Amino acid sequence: MVGLISFCCGCGGEKGIDARYAYEKRVWEARMREERIWLEPLAVRDEDLGAAIAAYESVLAANPLVDPNSESWSPRVRGDIERLRFSSNVALVKLYFIRLQNNSGVTYFRSGVQRHDLLFRDRRDLGLSLVKAIYAKQARDPLEVKCSSVLADIARDEHLWADGKEIGDTLLAVPGYLVHIELDRGEAVPEHVEPAEQLLGRVIAMWPDSLIGQKARLSRVDLYIMLARYEEALADVDAVVASGRFAGHPGEIRLLRGEILAHGLGRYAEAESVFTALKTSYAGTRVSRAASLDLAAMLARRGETREAVEMIRELEMAKEMPLEMRTAAMFLRALIVNESGDWGEAVTLLWRICRLYPFTRAGMVAPLVMLRHELGAGNRESVERVHRKTVEFYLSAIGMDSASLRYRHLVKDYLIESYLLMGDPRGAAMVLEERAPTWSGENGAVGLIKSALIYLNLLDDRENGVRMLEKCLDLFPASRYSGNVRAQLDSLSHRQTVQ
């Protein structure tokens, strides 16, 4: 540590140096806890994450500069402490962000929408909709508020803008994620949009030709796509292309440009020329195959169904095809053949996706597509048969608890959605109560939490809701969500007392 060097070299007489040294030691201890998190961030233990967060919160709560005597300390010492507090804030918002993502689909709604999701933009009935009502009555996850507050502090701190060294991928991702949460909640004017634009815009303005400036611009592209502000997204993409400076595959940004043109702005002729050029320039790569998928979607939109299906079949059989892209191709083909009148072939394709690739986004969505189709057709016997198969599929997927799904608790929301489509919320609550005790760890705890939320927020059944929360604590006392469960029980008890 820089401070230790100066301390050991005879600066002991400098006013405030002892306080700075003591503070620096506390920051160092917090950093040691934080290092454990970044060694394996995708498999971090919640105890380690909680310990690192608590350490930094303690550091920031103990501000030496509030001491009246600090006014007489040397400017250098005061500046060092301010920089330590700034770096601690940056570390803390990253840790909050990890835990907020871990809470996704448990303490707040997660739509399942991917980063861009432009290919299926017009097909809004593919994912989750009814299940949002479960979360609508829940208070916001406190981590959302904490992330927002600390991020605002960081953005106001001139240490951030001195050299930009603390502006990494995580810090650029947080603003858009907060907007995503608000959009999932159905907020017409998300409050985090303006601060997100201000932060990203200032990074772009200060370092326009740097790599971090281009990353900020791409983060703003993601933000504009979420908000369906496609002209602005296109302008930022064009600026990145013109700079010639961006991370990743050089064809990816051009692919995104074509998708904005096609699926966002409907400028199909321009988009077709982009996709055709990418197929030629990057033959045999992921970019070329993605461009082919976009072209197939455009062909289908023009009514050239046979040509679109042939193109998609070729993609499905291509070697070294990424799994998510292969299943997206199969899924798109199912939608296209259904729209052309062949529901039988569509069903065969959709169940094949479920059987072969259950832990993909297409695998999760496919059963709901079939259930919605049968409900629309009005055949009660077929509806009940498809729903039984759908429930079996989701329960099997939940039981396997595959790490292939980043937001694995989202599967439970797909299960619940299927029951809500059937008009049977109690059935969802009961099946989760029945199965959750057989699921290990967080899987079982979250099953009971979601059962409780259905009782409390959809059925107005306080007795069974409280019973589920208490059962969760009894069966899974060490769950990372146990604190949240206790807080809900305390809140329910308080409300009951007031009433």
Could you read off the pLDDT of 420-445 as tens digits, one per residue? 999 999 999 999 999 999 998 899 99
Residue 24 has a pLDDT of: 96
Tokens describing residue 101: 């993502």
- Cα–Cα distance, 354 to 169 (Å, whole number): 34
Residue 498 has a pLDDT of: 57
pLDDT tens sequence across 123-170 = 767 889 999 999 998 889 999 999 999 999 999 999 999 989 999 999
Residue spans of the chain under pLDDT 70: 1-13, 41-42, 124, 494, 496-499
DSSP assignment string, 53-118? HHHHHHHHHS-GGGSGGGGGS-HHHHHHHHHHHHHHHHHHHHHHHHHHHHTBTTTB------SS--
- Give φ, ψ of 104 to 5 degrees: -55, 130
Residue 222 has a pLDDT of: 96
For 245, the 3-state DSSP assignment is coil
Place of tokens 């700075």: 20
Q: Where in the chain do CATH 1.25.40 domains reside?
A: 251-357
DSSP label of 16 = T
Cα dist from 108 to 318, 364, 488, whole Å: 39, 19, 13
Residue 1 has a pLDDT of: 44
pLDDT tens sequence across 455-470 = 999 999 999 999 999 9
| Domain at 251-357, CATH from 1.25.40, 1.10.3470, 1.10.8, 1.10.260 | 1.25.40
Tokens describing residue 393: 């599929």
- Cα–Cα distance, 245 to 217 (Å, whole number): 11
- Cα–Cα distance, 204 to 216 (Å, whole number): 6
| Number of residues in the chain | 499
Residue 373 has a pLDDT of: 95
DSSP label of 423 = T
Residue 42 has a pLDDT of: 65
With a threshold of 0.85, does the pTM exceed it?
Answer: yes
Residue 263 has a pLDDT of: 94
- Give yes or no for a contact between 65 and 82, defined as CB atoms under 8 angstroms apart: yes
- Cα–Cα distance, 287 to 308 (Å, whole number): 18
